[in-house]
């Protein structure tokens, strides 16, 4: 998503501020699409739970490495490069 603020100046409109929010930032935000979907999954450390989470994360095609884990279990996580 792109956001631009135009300002009127003596020389006409000029860009006053510009920001980009990447799809990865947008979708993987703590209140983004991936988090909202994961909240609907049953809490489970089973392999099928991991697979569902991994498929969901891959479906949103993050452009960075990510880690799947449970907030209350430090030893329960799966890395992806």
pLDDT score recorded for residue 68: 77
Taking only the tens of pLDDT, the chain with its 81 residues reads: 888 999 999 999 999 999 998 888 889 888 999 989 988 887 766 667 788 888 898 898 777 787 877 666 554 554 555
pLDDT score recorded for residue 65: 82
CB neighbour class for 34 (10 Å; exposed up to 12, middle 13-18, buried from 19): buried
Decide: 66 and 74 in contact? Cβ < 8 Å.
no
Residue spans of the domains in the chain: they are: 23-80
């Amino acid at each position: 998503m792109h956001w631009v603020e135009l300002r009127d100046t003596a020389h006409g409109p000029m860009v006053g501020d510009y920001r980009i929010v990447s799809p990865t930032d947008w979708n993987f935000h703590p209140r983004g699409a991936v988090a909202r979907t994961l909240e609907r999954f049953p809490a489970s450390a089973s392999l099928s739970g991991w697979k569902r989470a991994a498929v969901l994360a891959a479906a949103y095609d993050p452009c960075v490495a990510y880690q799947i884990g449970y907030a209350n279990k430090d030893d329960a996580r799966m890395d992806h490069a």
